[in-house]
Structure 1
């Protein structure tokens, strides 16, 4: 990154170290580039799902350049981890991207279920897609998901709400999603996830306290 893109590495927080990720700022690019190495998840708990991203990657050509990108199912998994298990908000571009995948029938839902079950996040994935479908349908579009996906979501009545610059996800399902993920790790004897997931609540509390005291959670979250 530093050689090819003249990027500068940002200081790593506690959460960054747990997740085994690095952030870089690239000249001319307003947003940071976040790179996860070997693991996915808030605490780096997902090893097998990260491996699937590489194993099932596909190629896309843009302006004469060929890139390897995640398969549609892995794109859903990655965004679910980001939106339903960390930030609890969507951007409008998220809605557009995944509405496009749904409308193009690009998602293999059986494969998606297999991917999500590896990390115990199927309820989160189902809720993520149900939120996308509901949002698009409310504004006159159409982005249908199978009934079994809606049935697996946290609630049929959950909706995003526009607040500030984002589409906010209600915090109500957070505990349920976290609990089902931890339970799945225990059931599958996933020692890495079992050891790392319990670190998430104290990390979140520390970040909240730091934010209340200093106005920033930088260095923790």
Structure 2
């Protein structure tokens, strides 16, 4: 119930302030496991997607978001948990495995799992090489992959943090991708790379971003 109330309240607020344009939301299956795979340009991307899509969405977030103390910490923990975030320690040596297994559990329950294949926010607004977890999840669970693109959220929250600005936002959903013909090949790294590149190609087409064939983490380190 608290999730419905939060979504209704923030949904109205979002529509009044940002008037987001949504394209292709009808392409998201109404039931069964679905992976929403998109670009990641700012911290609030997950909030916009969660409020726009009718089905409840679950996504991975840093566990530090729910570990705060005092009133502020409790409010943040409630907000993120109610909004569908599943906390995972991604900084540890097994962070990637934990995130993958969490996504698998969500999908095997027939739910919607949102993932950013780049693995982190883009450091400069360009689209970076996708990590193969999205393909692995699709092959392990049989989930349909729906690519999506966030356009304009980097203007709402420049730099990925700080106060919000009023700016137009568009969320585009592409045609569902069915990878069932590759069932049982989730350990084949060539298949995983090919499917991940197919997803990222669709995200690039939807977003209009320039593509960079290196990982975003490497770009940030440089």
TM-score normalised by L of structure 1? 0.31
From the CA coordinates, give the structure whose radius of gyration is larger: 1
